[in-house]
Amino acid sequence: MRITLKHYYLIVDVETTSDDRVADFGAVVVDRKGNVAASLGVLIEGIFGEADFHWALGNPKHTLRKYRGLVANGDRAIATPAYVNRWLAEMAATFSPILTAYNIGFDWGKCRNTGIDLGIFPRRFDLLQAAKAVIVPTDDYAKACHENDWFTKGGKLSSKADHVARFVDPTLPAEPHTALEDARDYEGAILAAIIAAPNSREKLVAAGIAKNPSAKWMLGA
């Protein structure tokens, strides 16, 4: 059954291994307000536990212990890339969502290396670049960066998902760097804030993210 009365977005997040494959895959289908219609969080069979996580090379034992706890609690299942692809195909058929991710090129490449096909979603945009166009340039965000010392090593305002998400939702703790939670709670909050922001479509067009000024699909108008 295809649901077409509302606009939906598929937010994807991955945690990867040192050899550039996906160990932890998370995705949520959300509406314009961030309400979750469907979600998936799985550890990839044959990859999880086999190699160090790229972002936690300094403490891989802690990383594996955390994820094994999620499996033991029933919060994660082990699944094949084929299973993920079947789920993605079901989401495409049901919701026809717009694909996005925070630095989508990273997630896209790691999924491709793992046999996970994001190419079935013809409509897509980079949530990081959208945040840089709509949220990061605001005076309020600059103020938050100064108050929280959110800066790059070069002294520029940080555009990390963790920082942008905690700006739009100050109740959030530090990002856990687990794929489902990052996509649902952090990137979902960023997307909802971009959609709700004044003149967001105009800002996205000006930044070249929505190349067509009438690209209503991006913000679901």
Residue 195 burial by Cβ neighbours in a 10 Å radius (0-12, 13-18, 19+): buried
What's the pLDDT at 209? 81
When pLDDT is cut at 50, 70 and 90, the band that residue 130 belongs to is: very high
- Three-point CA angle 112, 113, 117, nearest 5°: 25
For the cut 50, the answer to whether the pLDDT of residue 141 exceeds it is yes
Q: Report domain extents, the chain.
A: 9-212
Instruction: Say what percent of the chain tops pLDDT 90.
Output: 68
Six token digits for residue 199: 């003149």
Strand extents, DSSP E, the chain: 9-16, 22-30, 36-44, 77-79, 98-101, 124-126
pLDDT tens digits, 167-194: 999 999 999 889 999 999 999 999 999 9
What's the pLDDT at 1? 47
What's the pLDDT at 54? 61
The mean of the pLDDT values for the chain is: 89
Q: Beta-carbon neighbour count of residue 147 at 10 Å?
A: 8
What's the pLDDT at 218? 67
pLDDT tens digits, 94-128: 999 999 999 999 999 999 999 999 999 999 999 99
Q: Beta-carbon neighbour count of residue 141 at 10 Å?
A: 21
When pLDDT is cut at 50, 70 and 90, the band that residue 57 belongs to is: very low
Architecture of the 9-212 domain: 2-Layer Sandwich (3.30)
